[in-house]
Amino acid sequence: MRVAVLSDIHGNLEALQATLAAIDAAGVDETWCLGDVVGYGARPSACLALVREHCSVRLAGNHDLVASGVSSAEGFSRSARIAISWTAQQLSDAEREEIRQWPSATQLRGIGLAHGSMRDPAWEYVVEPGVARTLLEDQIQQVVLVGHSHLALSWRLDPEVLGGAAGVLRGDGDVVEFGERSWIFNPGSVGQPRDRDPRAAWLELDTDARTVTWHRTPYDIASAQAAIRGAGLPDPLADRLGAGL
């Protein structure tokens, strides 16, 4: 089975549309979304509609939970608080209720899926070796897919490196054969990448070949930036899209 995995769309309709077109061209069997469909971008409802239509798995990220009223924005940056408050006002009651029904973690076909981590599904970042090592040692599933950090990453146990886990930033076309080793994979962000590559990020999981492949898809960044500014959202949210930060 071939599965496209995406995360952290953040209301960026242009990035999502381009990503879904690339996924369709790849001819995968299913598409899974690891959360944060809304958050920073200017078209939350349109992104929700596309995720509803195309994704057989839909998880709730921390921004989704705040926008739907489940969690507070405590700890968010000023720009994030402004954006999530605006986003909550754009969503209908039905859309907020839809998001509330999404889990933040699940297991499917022996694969763990979480927005943050299997330990703290909505909020934990897997970006530090010590955190990754503990999660890898404790995880039941051989493969766990997470989002949240906006970084395309792979993690595996490695006693030879500081912290006990080896993390690798992944670029377009990178392939990992996961064999029997335990792994944590992050597809990166569709709508707001933070690895200095502004193209939308996603990955393809092939359960038969036992491989993961990372992809980057170009999209109309200028239109996404214009939509953010047109909505009156903070300029830094638009500026960062062009730099991939």
Strand runs (DSSP E) across the chain, as ranges?
Answer: 2-6, 30-33, 57-58, 105-108, 111-114, 143-146, 152-157, 165-169, 175-177, 183-187, 200-206, 211-217
What pLDDT score was predicted for residue 180?
84
Q: Which residues contact 145 (CB under 8 A, 6 or more apart)?
A: 5, 32, 34, 111, 112, 113, 114, 184, 185, 186, 187, 205
What pLDDT score was predicted for residue 86?
98
175-177: strand order across its sheet: 57-58, 30-33, 2-6, 200-206, 211-217, 175-177
- Tell me how crowded residue 69 is: count the other CB atoms within 10 A of its CB: 13
What pLDDT score was predicted for residue 22?
98
Q: Which two tokens stand for residue 130?
A: 């010590």
User: pLDDT tens digits for 17-29?
Assistant: 999 999 999 999 9
Cα 78 to Cα 93, 192, 196, 214, 223: the distances in Å are: 25, 17, 22, 32, 23
Report the C-alpha gap between 166 and 214 in whole angstroms. Answer: 17
Cα-only R_g, the chain: 17
User: pLDDT tens digits for 150-164?
Assistant: 999 999 999 999 899
What pLDDT score was predicted for residue 100?
97
Residue ranges, the chain, pLDDT below 70? none
Cα 79 to Cα 27, 61, 173, 237: the distances in Å are: 37, 18, 33, 7
What pLDDT score was predicted for residue 146?
98
CATH 3.60.21.10 fits 2-243, yes or no: yes
Report the C-alpha gap between 236 and 225 in whole angstroms. Answer: 10
Nearest to 53 by CA among 77, 17, 78: 17
What pLDDT score was predicted for residue 240?
97
What pLDDT score was predicted for residue 33?
98
Report the C-alpha gap between 117 and 205 in whole angstroms. Answer: 18
Report the C-alpha gap between 211 and 222 in whole angstroms. Answer: 34
Report the C-alpha gap between 102 and 29 in whole angstroms. Answer: 21
Report the C-alpha gap between 84 and 20 in whole angstroms. Answer: 24
Report the C-alpha gap between 34 and 44 in whole angstroms. Answer: 16
Residue 219 has φ and ψ, to the nearest 5°, of -150, 175
